[in-house]
């Protein structure tokens, strides 16, 4: 099942999943950002372009009304090398493992008897809030994508080499002292004017 970007409401990428519609057996959702959403993301992140952005998510119920969301966000970005200023392409492939809970619920609550997963789950101290009974996978994917962007992308093999300019030997902080030393009686110094 693929869910294209819908209502923007001033935001970049939206893909709503009502918690009430998640079956007890769980839900798989694939989403992909359309051209308008990718362009808005590129502008917001200061990128040349976002040529593709997609997410794949699995949502499972936990105790206390919590939802465990796992998946991946993948994107192809057009950036500019900070060294050469050449256009470069970057790829993002980030794993997601989060707990969402009804707004106001504090701390993680995990089913003690839920041993269906053999993998260990790392849970942050505070779950993400479920707002108005909805989880927005588009916003989640956008946040993950933005956090994964390299703020200083470099073209392969590009190395910053600072430009070294030979300093004028007479232009340094102690040049005035050197002049005084050369003229110890200070004969060439300008006399202050009388007011």
pLDDT recorded at residue 101 = 95
Contact between 152 and 82 (Cβ < 8 Å): yes
pLDDT recorded at residue 52 = 96
What is the DSSP track for 47-116? Answer: -SEEEEEEEEEEEEE-GGG-EEEEEEEEEEEEEE-TTT--EEEEEEEEEEEEEEEETT--S----TT---
pLDDT recorded at residue 124 = 47
CA dist 102 and 35 (Å) reads 32
pLDDT recorded at residue 141 = 96
pLDDT recorded at residue 165 = 67
Tell me how far CA of residue 116 lies from CA of 4, 25, 47, 112, 134, in angstroms. Answer: 31, 12, 41, 11, 25
Q: What is the pLDDT along the chain (195 residues), one digit of tens a residue?
A: 444 434 434 458 999 999 999 999 999 999 999 999 999 999 999 999 999 999 999 999 999 899 999 999 999 999 998 888 889 999 999 999 999 999 876 554 444 444 445 445 554 468 999 999 999 999 999 999 999 999 888 887 766 666 666 566 666 666 666 666 666 565 555 555 555
In the block, residue with structure tokens 């009686």: 185
Q: Report the predicted TM-score, pTM, of the whole model to 2 decimal places.
A: 0.66
């Amino acid at each position: 099942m693929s869910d294209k970007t819908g209502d923007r409401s001033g935001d970049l990428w939206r893909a709503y999943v009502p918690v009430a519609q998640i079956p007890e057996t769980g839900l798989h959702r694939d989403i992909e950002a359309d051209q308008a959403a990718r362009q808005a993301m590129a502008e917001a992140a200061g990128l040349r372009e976002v040529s593709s952005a997609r997410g794949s998510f699995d949502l499972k119920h936990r105790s206390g009304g919590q939802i465990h969301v796992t998946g991946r966000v993948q994107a192809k970005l057009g950036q500019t090398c900070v060294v050469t200023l050449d256009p470069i392409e970057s790829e993002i492939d980030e794993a997601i493992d989060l707990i969402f809970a009804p707004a106001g619920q504090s701390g993680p609550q995990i089913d003690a008897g839920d041993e269906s997963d053999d993998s260990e789950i790392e849970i942050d101290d505070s779950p993400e809030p479920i707002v108005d009974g909805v989880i927005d996978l588009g916003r989640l994917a956008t946040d993950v994508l933005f956090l994964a962007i390299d703020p200083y992308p470099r073209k392969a093999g590009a190395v910053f080499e600072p430009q070294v300019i030979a300093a004028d030997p007479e232009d340094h902080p102690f040049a005035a002292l050197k002049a005084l030393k050369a003229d110890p009686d200070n004969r060439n110094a300008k006399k202050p004017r009388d007011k």
